[in-house]
Amino acid sequence: MLDSTVATLLARTARAQRAGRVPSLVAGVVRAGELVWSTGRGAVDEPHRDVQYRLGSISKTVTAITVLRLRDEGRLDLDDALEQHLPGTPLGDRTLGQLLSHLAGAGSESPGRWWERAPGTTLDGLGLSDADVVLPAARRFHYSNLGFGLLGEVVARVRGRAWVEVARDEVLLPLAMTRTTTRPSGRAAQGYAVHPWAEVVQIEPEHDAEVMAPAGQLWATAEDLARLGAFLLGDTGDVLAPATVEEMTVPAGVDPSAPGWSSYGLGVQVQRTTEGTVLIGHGGSMPGFLAGLWVDREEGTAALALGNTTSGLDGGLPAGLLADLRAAEPRIVDAWAPTPSPVPLELLGPWYWGPSPYVLRAVPGGLLHLGGLGRPGRSSRFRPAGDGTWVGLDGYFAGETLRLDPVALNLATFVFTRTPYDPAAPVPGGVHDAGWR
């Protein structure tokens, strides 16, 4: 990394620590799968890359990985109702996928005392009731810590082991995250609250959250959090298939073609910056701690921040570090090289949906892209299905089947023809005998 880049990253981090009055702050940048830069700021606890901080809701990403491992093994399905694996809750008719993407309408917090500042309890101890169902299913995004507590309990029931053991043995250790634990271990920062009107601090509590642990219990070092960033960038270490990680990053409940948006996938947040960059990751907060991990998959970089304060740390610090890195040292992309077309060339080029022009292109990765030609239009990429058809990956036609024919493209009852309303093609509703006039 260039000295000038290091200076820029350090300056941004130093300003964030001072402006946010953060007792101690560790920030870092991942590139090529490694923590290539990190720094510690503050007079408290001598921060560095091997000091543990509480991750808060970044723990949800690990919980999602444990659920998706079970799905990939065929032990459960994301369309399964919660009742199938965890009977007796008021959210039994909500699906596991809805819980993972915060679309289940579950309450934001568990009932009883504020779980983040009080000793935890068991699922039975929560005493769930109909009051913990606050919205209809699949109607709107509603962030739910309770939902991830329930998902952790599903993992425990299906595996026959505590969630913490499953997370440790199936995710953390295989990813070499050996300094990530559910309680502070070894060198760990003390959590503080900073007085709003004075330069003094107060110690925040720490405890075992028990059934709510999957929502925010983990502690990790910058070195370990960087490894989770590398995982989200594609270095999955056989913990999940790359296709499953890709599935995690698909936004739920939002149109990702909009110029700016923020959403949630499966255990990860997904946001598009005002500059058009899509970032994947998660923020985290617990009493005494704030954290963030975000990856820029286009650039192959990640940035993280860990601070021991209840409030004040700028949550945009990791995104700012990524923007600095993109501006100072942008990724040098691979050279273009010709590759064979996955379909005959005569099928590519202009097509028409009614009078609207579209174009079918072969794009890298053995995919096809169908989109508007010269004007906006519904667009999607398609992958081969193995039987001569193609399946939509994204956009309006995600999941839909595309059938290719020299005369017409058939897609979700739409028929695309070589000329507008081609009378030789099976145009729905037919073509008027008078034709164009």
> What's the pLDDT at 257?
64
pLDDT tier for residue 377 given thresholds of 50, 70 and 90 = confident
The average confidence (pLDDT) of the chain is 95
Query: If you average pLDDT over residues 21-38, what whole number do you get?
Result: 97
- Say yes or no: 323 and 352 in one domain: no
Residues 297 and 377 in one domain: no
Confidence at residue 275, expressed as pLDDT on a 0 to 100 scale? 83
Q: Do 321 and 360 belong to one domain?
A: no
Q: Is 434 domain-assigned? A: no
Residue 402 near residue 392 (C-beta atoms within 8 A): yes
**Looking at the predicted structure, is the pLDDT value of residue 256 above 90?**
no
Provide the pLDDT for residue 260: 77
Assess if residue 70 is contained within a domain: yes
Residue 339 lies in a domain: no
Looking at the fold, whether 231 and 104 belong to one and the same domain comes out as yes
Task: For residues 270 and 375, state if they share a domain.
Answer: no
Q: How many domains does the chain have?
A: 2
The one-letter code for the residue type at 83 is: E
* pLDDT tens track for 32-90: 999 999 999 997 667 889 999 999 999 999 999 999 999 999 999 999 999 999 999 99
**Which of 177-186, 188-197, 292-301, 372-381 has the lowest average pLDDT?**
372-381
Q: Are residues 258 and 358 both part of a single domain?
A: no
In a shared domain, residues 194 and 295: yes
In angstroms, the first-to-last Cα distance of the chain is 65
Quote the strand ranges of 166-277, DSSP E: 192-194, 201-203, 219-220, 261-264, 269-272
Instruction: Based on the fold, state whether residues 240 and 317 are members of the same structural domain.
Output: yes
Q: Is residue 121 part of a domain?
A: yes
Task: Tell me which DSSP letter residue 106 carries.
Answer: B
CB atoms near residue 408 (< 10 Å):
19
Same domain, 254 and 317: yes
pLDDT greater at residue 255 or residue 196: 196
Same-domain pairing of 380 and 310: no
Q: What is the CATH number of the domain that holds 312?
A: 3.40.710.10
Question: Has residue 424 been placed in a domain?
Answer: no
Q: Which of 366, 372, 364, 365 is nearest to 343 (CA)?
A: 366
Copy the structure tokens of residue 192.
Answer: 């503080």
Sign for the pseudo-dihedral over CA of 223, 185, 312, 197: negative
Neighbours of 199 (CB within 10 A): 7
Alpha-helical regions (H) of 160-293:
163-167, 213-216, 222-232, 242-248
- High-pLDDT (> 70) share of the chain, %: 98
Instruction: Give kind and range of the element (H or E) at residue 305.
Output: strand 301-307
pLDDT digits (tens, 9 = 90+) for 81-128: 999 999 999 999 999 999 999 999 999 999 998 899 999 999 999 999
- Give pTM, 2 decimals: 0.92
Could you tell me if residue 435 is inside a domain? no
Averaged pLDDT, 383-405: 94
Q: How far apart are CA 355 and CA 375, in angstroms?
A: 12
Same structural domain for residues 294 and 361? no
- Strand pairing class (349-353; 301-307): unpaired
Domain with 166, as residue range(s), is: 3-328
Q: How confident is the model at residue 206 (pLDDT cuts 50, 70, 90)?
A: very high
Same domain for 91 and 144, yes or no, is yes
Q: Does a structural domain hold residue 311?
A: yes
> Does 430 reside within a domain?
no
